[in-house]
Amino acid sequence: AQKVTQAQTEISVVEKEDVTLDCVYETRDTTYYLFWYKQPPSGELVFLIRRNSFDEQNEISGRYSWNFQKSTSSFNFTITASQVVDSAVYFCALSESLNTGFQKLVFGTGTRLLVSP
Amino acid sequence: DAGVIQSPRHEVTEMGQEVTLRCKPISGHDYLFWYRQTMMRGLELLIYFNNNVPIDDSGMPEDRFSAKMPNASFSTLKIQPSEPRDSAVYFCASSFSSGGWTDTQYFGPGTRLTVL
- What pLDDT is recorded for position A98? 72
- What pLDDT is recorded for position A100? 67
Return the sign of the alpha-carbon dihedral for residues B45, B47, B50, B56. positive
In B17-110, at which residue ranges do the beta strands (DSSP E only) sit?
Answer: 19-24, 31-38, 42-50, 53-56, 65-71, 74-79, 88-95, 97-98, 101-102, 106-107
d(CA B49, CA B73): 12
Q: What is the pLDDT of residues A68-102, one digit of tens each?
A: 999 999 999 999 999 999 999 999 999 887 766 67
| CB-based contact A102 B48, cutoff 8 Å | yes
Question: Could you list the pLDDT tens digit for every one of the 116 residues in chain B?
Answer: 689 999 999 999 999 999 999 999 999 999 999 999 999 999 999 999 999 999 889 999 889 999 999 999 999 999 999 999 999 999 999 998 876 667 789 999 999 999 99
Mean pLDDT calculated for residue range A54-71: 89
Asked if B44 and B90 count as a contact pair (C-beta separation under 8 A), the reply is no
Distances, alpha carbon B105 to alpha carbons A50, A117, B7, B34, in Å:
10, 33, 19, 11
C-alpha neighbours within 13 Å on the C-beta side of residue B27: 2
For an interface test with A, which of B31, B39, B47, B105 has the most A Cβ atoms less than 10 Å from its Cβ? Answer: B105
d(CA B95, CA B74): 14
| CB-based contact A98 B91, cutoff 8 Å | no
Q: How are beta strands B111-115 and B88-95 bridged, if at all? A: antiparallel
Residue A15 amino acid letter: E
* Residue numbers of B between 52 and 71 with CB closer than 8 Å to A: 55-56
Q: What is the pLDDT of residues A34-56, one digit of tens each?
A: 999 999 999 999 999 999 888 88
In A3-116, at which residue ranges do the beta strands (DSSP E only) sit?
Answer: 3-5, 10-14, 19-21, 24-26, 33-39, 46-52, 59-61, 64-69, 74-79, 88-97, 103-107, 111-116
| CB-based contact B107 A44, cutoff 8 Å | yes
For an interface test with A, which of B32, B102, B106, B107 has the most A Cβ atoms less than 10 Å from its Cβ? Answer: B102
d(CA A109, CA A93): 9
Residues of B in contact with A44 (CB under 8 A): 107-110
Q: How are beta strands B111-115 and B10-13 bridged, if at all? A: parallel
Q: Please report which helix (H) or strand (E) contains residue B6, including its range.
A: strand B5-7
Bridge partners of B21? B77
